[in-house]
A and B are shown apart, each in its own frame.
Chain A
């Protein structure tokens, strides 16, 4: 790869982040027109990826890397094969349209710039995720998409529902992110590689490893949470609290497919095992079924689409894990088709909501005259979703049925039934969103309906046309996008052959059955809703309620733990601290037999003994006194005894300092004690005194033993010898202590005098903020 296109790719990958940084400023300066400028960023990335298509389609993968943290050997490495490129094209292409659409949708919103910033941040993260080669980079961008999703769902942060949905999405996908990290580490341990390309180069290495099962479970947890598979599906419909551009982009076209991407990416290395081909169809099928049924229950158009997205993701997981190349090709076609039509339909719902003030299916009707362009885009997308010939949705559905009927046996038959039901729901919902609001009698809506501005309808129109063109030019579409992607996922070369025209085959027959069932569901949707409502009841039970209970439980648990460990009582904290001190000092000494040996009887001179006794008397008196003045004087006595001890032991500087400090302490204490009106007696009952005394004696014994042990070890005087030898020669001073303070360790001293100065300042402040009304009143 030439350096020119490598630079272009790097710019394309980095530009969204730069755009995220300037977006708030740009949108404030330029208003809605800023959207046209910001759309150039994804457009640039899109053209870069388009320029790579021919290279990738010829079977060459594009790789490269730049150094990120060289000291740790971490690089930003990218790897583009058919799968990555197709995803990157979807992300940047739909991203361009979404940026424009957001320009119109949030017209005049005070936080428009912030929204654009989050959106571009997400785009950059998602691009990084799909081109990442490095495990670490994959994980970082995976988490970054979760964070961007959190920010976007909670964009309308003044509503509690938004905050809840955002937090829920973050918790669920964040859990998956941790699982991904663990899974990648396990894969790294099993195969000793840390890149996806390295893993794909030795596909048998992981399957044969005994770490395969833990790696698989962790990766599945990551993929299932991100792609909203049962039982983690609940966060996705809640995420519809986000503004509609977010739902169209993150929660249908791109981010939720990251889990599917992960499964597809690892299919060559982890697939084709019994557990893979059992778990994926099982969970995917269950998700498809549940998503479809719940979609039919909804009256909110956006929620209908959200649940069919859940179902579609289930379908994709099911097909990915089915185990045949045909199924993989069906998954690939459906993934692309779904991104196009679902993105378009979400945007259509956004336009309806924006221009009529409602997105409830019962409020909307007869809008074809008022909103003709939107209607055209909507019907185009709906036809693709329903799988009508000439649209990409048809290619996908044909491929699905071909794959499912190709294999025989009882298990695929069940899957086939689920797929038919799911697809029939897609037909019904597709028309419910793309057709029903536009036909029939026009109804009263909160706003007078009229066509939205070009910024709004451009996106769905382009996506609907793309959905049509991709099918009409199917040869080109297969050659450049679908075949390379299928090849990358299946791990072996594959060529699609399905034509967008009706033809006689078993698959086409099943398509007709699906269409018929779907139309019946469409016609009977209102009655079905009633029936489903009576079955499920009005209550919202299930994992969604469970999430609330878990969160509330965590808060209660933490409050309970906090009440125990941080009970607000200083005496308890101090007691715990000193019990710990005594235990930490004593227990290792006993366990490792490091107790000091019995020292010989010390040969002290009389004046030394006297001093020690004076210090002890001072201590005893401080502890036992009931008189304030005696306490102060005794405190002074022990301090002066220490000062004299210092001078006897060759430390005149210390002695002098200690002497001055003790004097000042006594003055300060005397000045304060008179103001405190304290009863000097110790009110502790005898049992508390015994307890506290035991702790104190344990601490004292511990420190004595420690010090005896330390002084019985040989002494390493090298540091002191250095100071003794160099104080005069290097630092021109004869008082070694002072030379250490002001020269050798002057930086420490600078810090220490700063502390002294700040203490003086703080004390002044404390004394000056006296609140006159409350002082002395209660004493």
Chain B
């Protein structure tokens, strides 16, 4: 798979897919999309990068360990539900604030979805990279 064309295209493809995944994530509340799909797209992006440049390069490019990303996402998702502690509502109750400046409303629901995105992206890319690296060892 390490052809010249693929290796040339792969970084752009990865960047584009990551950008697209964030777009899909953020629009998910109103149009088709969301954290699960966005996370899968991000994971695929890393998998493609891994196939093109090998697992060590991908791990360097990712900065964080994929499982750390997943763990952070899980923590964010869980914490986002704790707003109920202050408002006296049940766990994971949505809280919304109007913010006309950035064009969409801010809420802990969006933060929860970002957590989902990070978990799926982290865990799935971890799986893909782990399998790719056993391939390398062989």
Interface residue ranges, A against B (CB under 8 Å): 652-653, 656-657, 660-661, 663-664, 667-668, 671-672, 674-675, 730-735, 737-739, 741-743, 746-747, 749-750, 753-754, 756-757, 759-761, 763-764, 767
Docked CA distance A688–B35 (Å): 45
Chain B positions 77 through 104: 1 when the CB is less than 8 Å from some CB of chain A, otherwise 0: 1100100000000011010100000000
Q: In the complex, which residue of chain A has the Cβ closest to the Cβ of B29? A: A733
Q: How far is the CA of A732 from the CA of B34 in the complex (A)?
A: 15
Tell me if B43 is interfacial: C-beta within 8 Å of chain A. yes
Contacts of B138 in A (CB 8 A): 675
A760 touches B77 (CB 8 A): no
* A742 and B122 contact, Cβ closer than 8 Å, known pairs A660-B40, A664-B40: no
**How far, in angstroms, from A172 to B99 measured CA to CA in the complex?**
74
Q: Are A764 and B109 closer than 8 Å at their CB atoms?
A: no
Kindly report which residue of chain B lies nearest to residue A734, judged by CB atoms. B30
Q: Would B122 and A763 count as touching, CB distance under 8 A?
A: no
Which residue of chain B has the shortest Cβ distance to A661 in the bound complex?
B40
B70, CB-defined interface residue at 8 Å: yes
Do A738 and B33 contact each other (CB < 8 Å), given the known contacts A754-B74, A764-B67?
A: yes
Complex alpha-carbon distance, A672 and B132, angstroms: 9
Q: Given contacts A660-B44, A664-B40, is CB(A735)–CB(B74) below 8 Å?
A: no
Contact B74 A757 (CB under 8 A): yes
Q: Does B11 contact A (CB under 8 A)?
A: no
Q: What is the interface of chain B mostly: helix, strand, loop, or mixed? A: helix
A-B pairs with the 6 shortest C-beta distances? A760-B123, A660-B40, A652-B32, A746-B92, A753-B119, A734-B30
**B41 pairs with A660, CB closer than 8 A:** yes
Main secondary structure of the interface of A (DSSP, over half): helix
Verify A667–B128 contact, CB threshold 8 A: yes
Chain A proximity of B24: nearest CB distance (Å): 8
Q: Is B130 an interface residue (CB 8 A)?
A: yes
Docked-complex contact A763 and B120, CB < 8 angstroms: no
Given contacts A664-B40, A733-B29, contact A753 B130 (CB under 8 A): no
Chain B residues, CB < 8 A from A675: 134-135, 138
Q: Specify the chain A residue showing the minimal Cβ separation from B110.
A: A742
Give complex CA distance A747, B128 in Å.
Answer: 27
Closest Cβ of chain A to B99, distance in Å, is 12
Across the interface, which residues of A come within 8 angstroms of B120, CB to CB? 753, 756
Question: Is B36's CB within 8 Å of the partner chain A?
Answer: yes
B70 adjacent to A757 (CB under 8 Å):
yes
Instruction: Please state if A750 and B126 are interface contacts (CB–CB under 8 Å).
Output: no
Cβ–Cβ < 8 Å partners of B131 in chain A: 668, 671-672, 767
A750 touches B77 (CB 8 A): yes
Instruction: Select one of B41, B44, B51, B109 contacting A742, CB under 8 A.
Output: B109
Collect the chain B residues with CB atoms within 8 Å of residue A767's CB.
130-131, 134
CB B124 to nearest CB in A, in angstroms, measures 7
- Across the interface, do A735 and B134 meet the contact criterion of CB distance under 8 Å? no
- CB contacts (< 8 Å) of B132 on chain A: these are 671
A756 and B117 alpha carbons, distance in the complex (Å): 11
B37 contacts A733, CB within 8 Å? Answer: no
Which A residues are in CB contact (< 8 Å) with B91?
747
Asked if A763 contacts B47 (CB within 8 A), the reply is no
- Report the count of interface residues on B (CB-CB < 8 A): 50
Closest A residue to B125 using CB positions: A760
Q: Which residues on B sit within 8 Å (CB–CB) of A756?
A: 70, 119-120, 123-124
* Chain B residues with CB under 8 A of A761: 67, 70, 123
Which chain B residue lies CB-closest to A669?
B131
Q: List 14 A-B contacts (CB under 8 A).
A: A653-B32, A660-B41, A732-B107, A733-B29, A733-B109, A738-B34, A739-B29, A753-B116, A753-B120, A756-B123, A757-B74, A760-B70, A760-B122, A760-B123
Q: Are A735's CB and B30's CB within 8 A?
A: yes
Q: Once the chains bind, are B127 and A757 in contact (CB under 8 Å)?
A: no
Known A-B contacts A742-B29, A753-B73; the reply to A760 vs B127 at CB < 8 A is: yes
The reply to whether A742 and B113 form a contact with Cβ atoms under 8 Å apart is yes
Collect the chain A residues with CB atoms within 8 Å of residue B124's CB. Answer: 664, 756, 760
**Pairwise interchain contact B119-A735, C-beta atoms closer than 8 A:** no
User: Residues 50-89 of chain B: 1 if any A CB is under 8 Å from the residue's CB, otherwise 0?
Assistant: 0100000000000000110011011001100100000000
Nearest neighbor of A747 in chain B, beta-carbon distance:
B92
- Which residues of B does A touch, CB under 8 Å? 28-37, 40-41, 43-44, 47, 51, 66-67, 70-71, 73-74, 77-78, 81, 91-92, 94, 96, 105, 107, 109, 112-113, 115-116, 119-120, 122-124, 126-128, 130-132, 134-135, 138
- Which one of A657, A734, A739, A764 lies within 8 Å of B130 (CB-CB)? A764
**A664-B128 in contact (CB<8A):** yes
Q: Are A753 and B115 in contact (CB under 8 A)?
A: yes
CA distance A759 to B30 in the complex (A): 30
Report yes or no: A656 in contact with B32, Cβ–Cβ below 8 A: yes
Chain B residue numbers with a CB within 8 Å of A741 are: 34-36, 116
What is the minimal beta-carbon distance from B23 to any residue of chain A, in angstroms?
13
A749 to B109, CA, bound (A): 12
Q: Which of A668, A734, A742, A753 is within 8 Å of B127, CB to CB?
A: A668
CA of A546 to CA of B45, assembled, Å? 71
CB-nearest residue of chain A to B116: A753
Q: Are B126 and A764 in contact (CB under 8 A)?
A: yes
A528 → B minimal CB distance (Å)? 78
| Cα A738 to Cα B44 with chains together (Å) | 21
**Contact between B32 and A731 (Cβ–Cβ < 8 Å)?**
no
Give A86 to B40 CA distance when docked, in angstroms: 76
Cα of A731 to Cα of B113 in the assembled complex, Å: 13
Query: B112: nearest residue on chain A (CB-CB)?
Result: A742
A652 to B135: give the CA distance in the assembly, Å.
34
Whether A757 lies near B40 (C-beta < 8 A) is no
Give CA–CA (A759, B130) in the complex, Å: 12
Q: Report Cα–Cα, A737/B28, bound state, in Å.
A: 9
Give Cα A675–Cα B41 distance, bound, in whole angstroms: 26
Chain A residues with CB under 8 Å of B70's CB are 756-757, 760-761
B120 closest partner in A (C-beta): A756
CA distance A663 to B128 in the complex (A): 12
Q: Specify the chain B residue showing the minimal Cβ separation from A657.
A: B37
A757 near B28 with CB under 8 A, answer no
Contacts of B36 in A (CB 8 A): 657, 741
- B123→A732 contact, CB < 8 A: no
* A756→B66 CA distance, assembly (Å): 13
A75–chain B nearest beta-carbon distance, Å: 35
Question: B33, A653: Cβ atoms under 8 Å?
Answer: yes
Write out the residue numbers on chain A whose beta carbons fall within 8 Å of the beta carbon of B126: 760, 763-764
Q: How far is the CA of A707 from the CA of B135 in the complex (A)?
A: 43
| Residues of chain A within 8 A of B67, CB atoms compared | 757, 760-761, 764
Q: Which of B31, B94, B115 contacts A735 (CB 8 A)?
A: B31
Q: Which residues of B contact A657 (CB under 8 A)?
A: 36-37, 40
In the complex, what distance in Å separates the CA atom of A652 from the CA atom of B127?
Answer: 26
Q: Is the CB of B44 within 8 A of A757?
A: no
- Report B69 CB to chain A, min CB distance, Å: 10
Return the contact of B116 from the options A668, A671, A731, A749 (Cβ within 8 A). A749
Query: In the bound complex, how far is the Cα of B43 from the Cα of A671, in angstroms?
Result: 16
Question: Out of B32, B34, B44, which one reaches A663, CB within 8 Å?
Answer: B44
Minimum distance in angstroms from B56 CB to a CB of chain A: 15
